[in-house]
Chains A and B, each alone.
Chain A
Amino acid sequence: MFGIFKELIVSSGLVSLTGGNLIMWLVAFTLLYLAVKKQYEPLLLLPIAFGILVVNLPLTFLMEPEHGLIWFFYHYGIENDIIPPLIFLGLGAMIDFGPLIANPKTLLLGAGAQVGLYVTFFAAILFGFDLREAASIAIIGGADGPTTIYLTSKLAPQLLGATAVSAYAYMALVPIIQPPMMKLLTSDHERKIVMSKLRPVSRLQKICFPIISAMTIMLLVPASAPLISMLMMGNLFKESGVVERLTKASSNELMNIVTIFLGLSIGATMTASTFLDPRVLFIFFLGLFAFVVSTASGLLMAKFMNLFLKNKINPLIGAAGVSAVPMAARCVHKVGSEANRRNYLLMHAMGPNVAGVIGTVVAAAILLKNLG
């Protein structure tokens, strides 16, 4: 009896547990708490946290190349660039480009916010990361999870877990991180600027936009094709109004399915040996820096545009140039309405917000072209 018990213990994962595993369990439980109790990006954080937990149970070999179950999800879904473009398909089917079409100037705010990303690229190199790692860290500033995963899996797969969790964590923390920056970089008078109502956008204009955008962006930056083609096709599904089933499938069923595999695979990359590296903590710090600088550069871009515009824009909407859709736009609206109760900035901020999605993909594609 004792022999059987002893054999059971010896063959179990218990004897192979390391201190690193225990620390990773703590990380997993923290993320589970944030997802379940605080509801910070639960759709992603919950499968990520569970992925971390199971991959840090010894002898499960879930990430063993060619054998482990989650390795297959990771290999075929992420390493082969399947999942991030599918997420973009669903995103496209949910996004409304109407506010952007009504005020195309806001595309410049989407570009402005990407400056922060390149500043972080520079900073990461100064702190000792190589070029490919620096690019993967910098893209966190775009606050776009799928783009961060797409770029990191190509340039620095060893940092995938850290950059992905960092990107999603900061996206969830938009309401905490952005308002102080907004208040710091804008005057009370600027925050009170009321913007005139957006002009109506016709159905034909909404149908033409994804086609024109896809052609323009992919012709200029072919490396953006996997993400932009899916984003714009999803949007074309939605705006055409003739493929309701495909729109629904893209934005609901498909999106939900790939989200499960994405989260689980990302979490499973975070083994003790890859994650417990002092540089990972530094990635979280640089990710925060990237996000703050991107917010600031979006705000400053809006202020710069106001120097030339007859009808001034509320510079707060520049902060929505990071692509955390729609949290950043909601945050802008909240800060704007606190300054002036008559201010209704949500739709105005949605323009730069969706422009930020495009801008981040373009920035990632250019980084990929230069460093891939």
Chain B
Amino acid sequence: MHSMTDWSKVLEVFGSGIVGVYLVMILLQLLTQLSTRIIDMVENGKTSGDAAPQPPGTDVKGKV
């Protein structure tokens, strides 16, 4: 049985498997970090925009 084993194929599957899994996961990690950072920036920008001080005269409470 052993003599029939295609060892070059075994090494190919072994090597490409490990490298492939790491490659996909590293890329996914980078894309996840990038997307969350962009979304954080957009959402923080929105929040700070909402919380920005109103120009004088537009504050209803202030007028009252």
Chain A residues at the B interface, C-beta cutoff of 8 Å: 100-101, 104-105, 107-108, 110-111, 114-115, 117-118, 121-122, 125-126, 128, 130-131, 135, 201-202, 204-205, 208-209, 212-213, 216-217, 220-221, 355, 358-359, 362-363, 366-367, 370-371
Task: Say whether B14 contacts A122, CB under 8 Å.
Answer: yes
Contact of A355 among B25, B33, B36 (CB under 8 A): B25
**Pair A110/B25 contact, Cβ less than 8 Å:** yes
* A161 → chain B closest CB, angstroms: 22
Interface residues of B in 37-62 (CB under 8 A from A): 39-40, 43
B39 touches A122 (CB 8 A): no
Q: Could you tell me if B32 and A101 are in contact, using CB atoms closer than 8 angstroms?
A: yes
Bitwise, B17-36 to A at CB < 8 A (1) or not (0) is 11011111111110111011
The answer to whether A363 touches B35, judged by C-beta atoms less than 8 angstroms apart, is no
Judging by beta carbons under 8 Å apart, are B5 and A125 in contact? yes
User: Quick one: closest B residue to A211, CB to CB?
Assistant: B35
Nearest CB in chain A: distance from B16 CB, A: 6
CB within 8 A of A370: which of B13, B27, B32, B40? B13
A138: nearest residue on chain B (CB-CB)? B17
* Cβ distance B7 to chain A, nearest Cβ, rounded Å: 9
Q: Are A111 and B25 in contact (CB under 8 A)?
A: yes
Residues of B within 8 A of A355 (CB): 25
B45, chain A: closest CB distance, angstroms: 13
User: Is B10 close to A, CB under 8 A?
Assistant: yes
A281 CB, nearest partner CB in chain B, Å: 18
Nearest opposing residue in chain B for A97, CB measure:
B32
Residues A363 and B9 in contact in the complex (CB < 8 Å), given A202-B39, A205-B35: no
- Give 17 A-B contacts (CB < 8 Å), ordered by A residue: A100-B32, A108-B26, A108-B29, A111-B21, A121-B14, A128-B2, A201-B36, A202-B39, A202-B40, A204-B39, A205-B35, A208-B35, A212-B28, A212-B31, A212-B35, A216-B31, A220-B27
A-B contact count (CB 8 A): 106
CB-CB under 8 A from A107, the residues of chain B are 25-26, 28-29, 32
Chain B residues whose CB sits within 8 angstroms of the CB of A114 once the complex forms: 17-18, 21
Query: Known contacts being A128-B2, A131-B6, A204-B43, is A366 close to B28, with CB within 8 Å?
Result: no
Specify the main secondary structure of chain A where it touches its partner: helix
Cα-based distance from A201 to B6 in the complex (angstroms): 48
Chain B minimum-CB-distance residue to A126: B2
Q: Which 4 A-B residue pairings sit nearest by Cβ, starting from the closest?
A: A111-B25, A104-B32, A107-B29, A366-B20
Contacts of A367 in B (CB 8 A): 13, 17
Question: For B33, what are the chain A residues with a Cβ–Cβ distance below 8 Å?
Answer: 104
Tell me the bound Cα distance from A212 to B9 in angstroms. Answer: 32
Nearest-CB distance from B11 to chain A (Å)?
9
Closest to A134 in B: B10
Give which listed residue, B18, B26, B43, contacts A202 with CB less than 8 A. B43
Determine which of A104, A115, A212, A220 lies in contact with B18 in the assembled complex, contact meaning CB atoms within 8 Å.
Answer: A115
Q: Contact at A121–B17, with CB atoms within 8 Å? A: yes
CB pair B27 A371 closer than 8 Å: no
Closest beta carbon of chain B to A134's beta carbon, Å: 8
A366 to B39, CA, bound (A): 32
Query: Interface centre among A104, A110, A130, A367, by most B CB within 10 Å?
Result: A104
